Amino acid sequence: MIGYYLDLARRSLRRNVALTILMILAIAFGVGASMTTLTVLHVLSADPIPGKSDQLYYVQLDPRPVDGYKEGEEPLYQSTRQDAETLVRAKQAERQVLMTGGGAAIESQQVGVDPFNVEARWASADFFPMFDVPFVAGGPWTAEDDDAKARVVVLAKPLAEKVFGTTDVVGRTIRVESNEMRVVGVTDTWFPTPHFFDLNTGAYGVKELLYAPFSTSRELKFGRNGSMNCWNSHQDPEALGAPCEWIQLWVELSTEAKRADYYEYLTAYSRAEKEAGRYHRPPNVRLRNVMEWLEHNQVVPNDARLQMWISLGFLLVCLINTVGLLLTKFMRRSPEIGVRRALGASKKSIFTQLLVEAGMIGIVGGVLGLLLAWLGLWAVRHQPTPYAALAELDTQMLLATFGLAVITSLLAGVLPAWRGCQVTPALQLKSH
Partner 1 sequence: MHFMPILSTLRRHRTAAALIVLEIALTCAIVCNAVFLIRDRLSRMDRPSGVAENELLRVQLTGIGERADAQAITEQDLAALRTIPGVKSAISINMIPFGGSSWNSSISTKPDDRDAPVNAGMYMATGDIVETLGLKLVAGRNFNSDEYVPFDDVQSETKGIAAVIVTSATAEKLYPGQSPLGKPVYVMGSTPPVIVGVVDHIVRPNDANGIDQRPYSMILPVTVPFNMGGNYLLRVAPDRKQEILAQVDAKLDGVDPRRIILERQTFAQVRAKYFEQDQAMARLLLGVSIALLVITALGVVGLASFWVQQRTRQIGVRRALGATKRDIRRYFQLENFILATMGIIVGMALAYGVNMWLMDTYGVDRLSAMYLPIGAGLLWALGQIAVLGPAVRASSIPPAVATRSV
Partner 2 sequence: MFQMQDVSKVFRTEMVETHALRDLSLEVKEGEFVAVTGPSGSGKTTFLNIAGLLEELTGGVYKLDGVDVKALDDNARSKLRNEKIGFVFQSFNLIPDLNLFDNVDVPLRYRGFGRAERRKRIESALERVGLASRVKHYPAELSGGQQQRVAIARAIAGDPKLLLADEPTGNLDSQMAREVMQLLEELNASGTIVIIVTHDPEIAARAQRNVHIVDGVATDLERGPALVKPKAAEAKAS
By CB under 8 A, name the binding residues for partner 1. Answer: 19, 22, 26, 29, 33, 65, 67-68, 103, 105, 107, 114-117, 177-179, 220-221, 223, 233, 235-236, 302-303, 305-307, 310-311, 313-314, 316-318, 320-321, 323-325, 327-329, 331-332, 383-385, 415, 419, 431-432
100 close to 198: Cβ distance less than 8 angstroms: yes
Instruction: Give the distance from CA 366 to its chain's centroid.
Output: 25
Q: Least distance from C-beta 415 to partner 1, angstroms?
A: 7
CB-nearer residue toward partner 1: 12 or 187:
12
Q: CB atoms < 10 A from the CB of 208, how many?
A: 22
- For partner 1, give the closer residue by CB, 306 or 426: 306
Rama region for 68: left / alpha / beta (φ>0; ψ in -120 to 50; rest): left
Cβ closest to partner 1, residue 90 vs residue 310: 310
The piece of 169-177, 297-305, 337-345, 369-377 that touches partner 2 (CB under 8 A) is 337-345
As a whole number of angstroms, the distance between CA 415 and CA 321 comes to 13
Q: Which of 71, 343, 384, 395 binds partner 2 (CB under 8 A)?
A: 343
Q: Confirm or reject binding of residue 422 to partner 2 (CB under 8 A).
A: no
Are 410 and 351 in contact by the 8 Å Cβ rule? The answer is: no
Q: Which of 349, 386, 388, 398 binds partner 2 (CB under 8 A)?
A: 349
The vertex-362 CA angle with 360 and 364, nearest 5°, equals 70
Residue 117 partner contact from partner 1, partner 2, none using kind-dependent CB cut-offs of 5 to 8 Å:
partner 1
CA angle 195, 200, 205 (to 5 degrees): 40
Q: Are 179 and 361 in contact, with CB atoms under 8 Å apart?
A: no
Q: What's the rounded Cα separation, in Å, for the pair 362 and 259?
A: 50
| Residue 418 touching partner 2 (CB under 8 A) | no
Whether the CB-CB separation of 427 and 42 falls below 8 Å is answered with no
Out of partner 1, partner 2, none, what residue 341 binds, judged by CB under 5 to 8 A for its kind, is: partner 2
Interaction between residue 15 and partner 2 (CB under 8 A):
yes
Q: For residues 104 and 211, what is the distance between their CA atoms, to the nearest angstrom? A: 10
Decide which of partner 2, partner 1, none touches 21; Cβ closer than 5 to 8 Å per partner kind. none
Among 113, 240, 342, 371, binds partner 2 (CB under 8 A): 342
Determine which residue in the list 21, 143, 345, 388 makes contact with partner 2, applying CB under 8 A: 345
Q: Which does 347 bind (CB under 5 to 8 A by kind): partner 2, partner 1, none?
A: partner 2
Task: Tell whether residue 16 is a contact of partner 2 (CB under 8 A).
Answer: no
Is residue 6 part of the contact set for partner 2 (CB under 8 A)?
A: no
The minimum distance between CB 410 and partner 2, in angstroms, equals: 22
1 or 257, CB closer to partner 2? 1
Beta partners for 180?
175
**Burial category of 296 from C-beta neighbours within 10 Å (exposed 0-12, middle 13-18, buried 19 and up):** middle
Chain mean position to CA 193: 5
Among residues 261, 292, 336, 392, the one that binds partner 2 under rule CB under 8 A? 336
User: Closest separation between CB of residue 335 and partner 2, Å?
Assistant: 8
Reference 92, options 59, 132, 121; nearest CA is 59
Q: At residue 79, what are phi and psi to the nearest 5 degrees?
A: -105, 160
Q: Distance between CA atoms of 197 and 208, rounded to whole angstroms?
A: 12
| Residue 160 · residue 169 · CB < 8 Å | yes
Residue 430 binds which entry of partner 2, partner 1, none, CB below 5-8 Å type-dependent: partner 2
Structural contact between residues 362 and 409, judged by C-beta atoms closer than 8 angstroms: yes
Q: Is 169 helix (H, G, I), strand (E, B) or coil?
A: coil
Q: Which is nearer to partner 1, 179 or 297 (CB)?
A: 179
Q: Residue 346: name its binding partner from partner 1, partner 2, none (Cβ under 5 to 8 Å by kind).
A: partner 2
SS3 104: strand
Does residue 309 belong to the site contacting partner 2 (CB under 8 A)?
no
Residues of this chain that bind partner 2 (CB under 8 A): 1, 4, 11-12, 15, 335-336, 338-349, 424-426, 429-430, 432
